[in-house]
A and B are shown apart, each in its own frame.
Chain A
C-alpha cells in the first residue's frame, strides 16, 4: 500500500474530490494546512501598517491506495490541482506497512 499526500490550493479541493471519485477512490482525509514553497506569501495592510503573511492557506489531502494504483492516482491529483500559477503545491507518495478498518478489523488492502 501507499499513502499519497497532496498539499494544494484550497479552491482546487472540489475538482480533486471529483477526480478521485471518478477514479474510484473510496475515502480520503482532508486537513486545513498552511505553508509556503517558492511562492512565499502575500502582503496585507491595516491602517498603513503592512504585514507579510508568509504562510499561505493550503489543504492537505491524504489517500491510501494499493501499490498498483499509486502512479496513476498521483497523475489524477496533479492534473486536478494544476492552475499553472505559482503556489500550486506538491504531491508525494510513501509506502505504508499496515492499515486497519476500525469497524471490522479488516487489514491491508481490504481495509481501503
Chain B
C-alpha cells in the first residue's frame, strides 16, 4: 500500500464532500427567500440518499466486474461484499479500495445534486428524493461505469474524462434539461422578477465549490504525483480565466461586472477543466477557461429564447461547460493524445452520454410525475416551499408572531387558521 497516495485520496474525498454543501449555498442564494431552505435541502439530501445507495449497490454497479459489453458492473460487491481494509486497487503499491470507494461516493452524491438547480422552487421534496434514488441507479452508476471502469465501453474507446466532464457534468446537465421538460416552468417565468435573494451566499457556495474541486480534479489522479499537481494547477488557472471570460462578456453585453457572473464564470471554468485538465498545459487551461466562461455566459440566455425554465442554469453552465472541456481536450491535449481522431472519440463520449441520459432521465421524471406527482401544488409554489415541505422558514426578522404550542410534535396550526405543513394530516 502507498501511504502518501492513500492519504491524498482520503483528503480529496473530504474535499469533494464539501462541494455538495457548497453547491447547496451556490443554488440556495440564487432563489427567492420563500424557497431558500428547500433549495439547500435538494442538494443536501443527496449526501444521505446516495451515500446509502452507494454502499448497498452503487459501488458494485459502477466498479464491479463488467457484466458484458462495458455497460454495467455486476452485483459481486453489493453491500461492499468481498472488500476489507487490506483490499487494494492499483496493485501492491496502490491504495485501499475503501479509500477509492469513498472518493467515488462523493462524485455520486454531487452529480444528482447538480440537477436540482434546474428544478428550483417548484417540485415536491419527496418526489425529488425519489428521483435522485432512481436517477443515480439507472443513469449515474451505468454512465460512471462506462467512463471510469477499465472494461467500460467509453474507457475502452479511450475517451478522455479525467474527473467527470461526461459522467458528472454533461450527464447532470442534460438530465436536468429532461427533468425540466417534464416538470415545466415556474409560475411567473419570464413575467415575475425572480432575483437571487442572497448573492453573498452564492459567492460563499462558489468559493467552497472551487476549494472542493481541487479534490475532485487532482484527487482523480488517485495518487500524489505529477498528474495530480498538473490537474491542481490547471484547475486554478482555468477557473480564474473563466471568471474573467464571463465578466468581460457580461460587461460588453450588459454593462456591468456582476457578482453572480464572477461566481458563475468560476463554476463554468471548473466544469470545463474537469475532463481536460490532466492533458493540457497551463496555457491550454487558460484558453479552455476563457472559452468556457464566455460561451457559458452567452449560453445562459438561451433558455429565454427557447422557453425552457432551467431556473439556475444547470444546462447553460454544466452541460455547455462539460461539452466545451470534453471536446477541447481533443484539440489541446499536449501528451500525444490530441488530434482529430481523439476529437471524434470525445464527441462520441459526450453525445452518447447526452443521448442516454436525456432519454432515461426524461422517462424517470415522467414515472415520478405519473405516480406520486413531481410538481408542488400551485398554491404551495406561490407561497413558497419552505413552510410546506420543511415546516420552517429560512430567515426570521420578525419580532412579532410565533407562539410555542407546548407540544413536541409538529404543531397543528389549523386551529389558529394557519396552514399546516403539507405532510401533516389534519382532522376534518
**Residues of A at under 8 Å CB distance from B?**
44-51, 53
Chain A contacts for B196, CB-based, 8 A:
46
A-B contact pairs, 6 of them (CB 8 A): A45-B250, A46-B196, A47-B300, A48-B254, A48-B297, A53-B193
Chain B, interface size: which category? Answer: 10 to 19
A49 to B304, CA, bound (A): 9
Q: Cβ of B4 < 8 Å from any Cβ of A?
A: no
- Chain B residue at minimal CB-CB distance from A47: B300
CB B417 to nearest CB in A, in angstroms, measures 28
CB B147 to nearest CB in A, in angstroms, measures 30
CB A35 to nearest CB in B, in angstroms, measures 17
A45 to B193, CA, bound (A): 11
Q: Cβ of B261 < 8 Å from any Cβ of A?
A: yes
Chain B contacts for A49, CB-based, 8 A:
301, 304
**Residues 190-221 of chain B, each 1 if its beta carbon lies under 8 Å from chain A, else 0:** 00010110000000000000000000000000
CB B179 to nearest CB in A, in angstroms, measures 20
Q: Are B193 and A48 in contact (CB under 8 A)?
A: no
A47-B301, A50-B254 provided; 13 other pairs, C-beta below 8 A?
A: A45-B250, A45-B255, A46-B258, A46-B260, A47-B258, A47-B261, A47-B297, A47-B300, A48-B253, A48-B297, A48-B300, A51-B193, A53-B193
SS of A interface (majority): strand
Chain B contacts for A48, CB-based, 8 A:
250, 253-254, 297, 300-301
Q: Cβ of B419 < 8 Å from any Cβ of A?
A: no
- Chain A residue at minimal CB-CB distance from B261: A47
Chain B contacts for A44, CB-based, 8 A:
195
Q: Are B193 and A47 in contact (CB under 8 A)?
A: no
Q: Cβ of B264 < 8 Å from any Cβ of A?
A: yes
A51 to B245, CA, bound (A): 23
Chain B contacts for A45, CB-based, 8 A:
250, 254-256, 258
CB B158 to nearest CB in A, in angstroms, measures 36
A50 to B260, CA, bound (A): 13
A53 to B193, CA, bound (A): 9
Chain B contacts for A47, CB-based, 8 A:
258, 260-261, 264, 297, 300-301, 313
- Chain B residue at minimal CB-CB distance from A52: B193
Q: Are A51 and B195 in contact (CB under 8 A)?
A: yes
A48 to B253, CA, bound (A): 8
CB A41 to nearest CB in B, in angstroms, measures 11
CB A40 to nearest CB in B, in angstroms, measures 15
Chain A contacts for B297, CB-based, 8 A:
47-48
A46 to B254, CA, bound (A): 10
- Chain B residue at minimal CB-CB distance from A51: B193
- Chain A residue at minimal CB-CB distance from B259: A46
A47 to B310, CA, bound (A): 13
CB B329 to nearest CB in A, in angstroms, measures 26
Chain A contacts for B313, CB-based, 8 A:
47
A49 to B260, CA, bound (A): 11
A50 to B194, CA, bound (A): 10
A50 to B256, CA, bound (A): 11
CB A34 to nearest CB in B, in angstroms, measures 14
Q: Are B301 and A46 in contact (CB under 8 A)?
A: no
